[in-house]
A and B are shown apart, each in its own frame.
Chain A
Amino acid sequence: MRTQTLIGLAVLALCAGAQAQKSTADGIAEYRKMLEDGNPADLFEAKGEALWKQKRGPKNASLEQCDLGLGPGVVKGAFVALPRYFPDTQKVQDLETRLVSCMVMLQGFDGAEIAKTPFGRGEMANVTALATWVAAESRGMRFNLPQGNVAERESYEIGKRAFYFRGGTHDFSCASCHGESGKRIRLQDLPDLTKNPGDGIGFAAWPAYRVSNGQMWSMQLRLNDCFRQQRFPYPGFGSEVTIALATYMGVNAKGAESIAPSIKR
């Protein structure tokens, strides 16, 4: 309902823009600005916070003791330092896979079962809501991923190689679209992800609410759909390539301000 009103207003804004002889780009910028006034991501954020505190799962426990990298229960600042290495799982993990580990360790959920649940359904929808809230708790903070551990540096190097890996029917890699500054697909600006693309751009903007399909998109889903459009086969949720790419983008984004959860067309 709220979204429909927003879209209606935005369309009006676009029409008004056309009458005033504004450029299309101006009209679109205005549309995006209006959308920011009421971001439905707020609803997912609230759901995530409630899920964090709620006793759930076979162990009937909350996630309040979950260690996102800064110690048990520390949420603020965790998002802008992920992915990172976790000694208990002996893996580099992004926010979503770390949340699943906490759901397994603290609440007794079946991690493999969650990993194969489609986005937007069941416990996967809960992981996305939790990620939205955890990200929001670091809003305005700057990315600064740890690279002190060999596994973290290795993840970066693997991510860099995956970023440039060309394959599929169309010979695309991530770099085909995100390896240069100032490029567009149709009217969509493409962030250059080989460096810090700027505050709130690229890695610093997700999770995001997508107006075009009315869904909350986590970084895992963002990457998943990039690979779909790249004409690649299907990347597993939390697979090594997805974590390594997040490490690569996150380290490159060092110093960028997080605006997540943001709103996208």
Chain B
Amino acid sequence: MKTPHWLVTALATAALLAGCSSMPSSAELDAKANQAIKSSFRDQGIAKTDRLNQDLGQSACSSDKPPSDAVADKIMAEALASVKLPANGQYLGDWKAGERLAQDGRGMTWTDASTDPKANGGNCYNCHQIDKKEISYGTIGPSLWNYGKNRGINDLSSPAFAPIAQYTWVKLWNAKAFAACSNMPRFGYKGLLNEQQLRDIMALLLDPKSPVNQ
């Protein structure tokens, strides 16, 4: 009996497939990658391996593709709900202290001694232009030069102040409130800066007397 042509082809294909080991599926690769990440790191100083346990805002923003609209909306809503507005509605501190924090990129690495916000800087100039006098600034975030002035805040009694101050506070507290996969750290939510430090950075951006708004 003659073997049908299609059977020969099928058998040959099967043999070929068996001969070359095949790639795992995308989901299997996800699992392997997570396993690799879990097994590749160890605690060092204040930087413990629990930093690899992702929340939704981290896991959903961990690929070259953005999350679905539904997931992004959930992240943003949760982020907005997480925000603690400043005590007594006091939004602004000292812009000079804010400038020092903006310059300071320290904190929270395994070579830092403490996780207390007092030991941390704001890292702002790493990614943003702020005061134009500082020429060493990064470009991952937008320029913040004239941040308050551009938004119509010429004095603190101007009607523009309250909504802009609240928006800016929310952005600093948890940037995911406005962009699910923002590159900006969640300074308030993650305990990177305390309320007074946030007020000082707010003043750098919004105080009409701050060099940023000249």
Whether A185 sits at the interface, judged by CB under 8 Å, is yes
B180 to chain A, nearest CB (A): 11
Main secondary structure of the interface of A (DSSP, over half): mixed
Closest residue on chain B to residue A242 by CB atoms: B40
Instruction: Count residues of chain B with CB under 8 A from any CB of chain A.
Output: 51
Decide: A167 and B51 in contact? CB cutoff 8 A: yes
Decide: A233 and B21 in contact? CB cutoff 8 A: no
Closest residue on chain A to residue B111 by CB atoms: A228
Decide: A167 and B138 in contact? CB cutoff 8 A: no
In the complex, chain B residues whose CB is within 8 Å of the CB of A175:
64
B48 to chain A, nearest CB (A): 6
Closest residue on chain B to residue A155 by CB atoms: B36
Whether A193 sits at the interface, judged by CB under 8 Å, is no
Q: Which of A171, A176, A194, A241 contacts B40 (CB 8 A)?
A: A241
In the complex, chain A residues whose CB is within 8 Å of the CB of B23:
150, 153-154, 157
What interface size band does chain A fall in? 35 or more
Tell me whether A166 and B192 are in contact in the complex, defined as CB-CB below 8 angstroms, given that A233-B49, A235-B40 are known contacts: no
Bound complex: CA A160 to CA B37 (Å):
12
Whether B89 sits at the interface, judged by CB under 8 Å, is no
In the complex, chain B residues whose CB is within 8 Å of the CB of A234:
41-44, 47, 110
In the complex, chain A residues whose CB is within 8 Å of the CB of B61:
166, 171
Whether B190 sits at the interface, judged by CB under 8 Å, is yes
In the complex, chain B residues whose CB is within 8 Å of the CB of A154:
23-24, 29, 32
Closest residue on chain B to residue A177 by CB atoms: B140
Decide: A233 and B42 in contact? CB cutoff 8 A: yes
Most A CB contacts (10 A, CB to CB) among B21, B32, B115 go to: B32
Top 8 A-B pairs ranked by shortest CB distance?
A: A239-B40, A161-B33, A234-B44, A241-B40, A170-B185, A240-B36, A233-B41, A166-B58
16 contacts between A and B (CB under 8 A): A157-B33, A161-B33, A162-B36, A164-B62, A164-B64, A169-B51, A173-B62, A175-B64, A183-B138, A184-B139, A228-B111, A233-B44, A234-B44, A234-B47, A240-B39, A241-B41
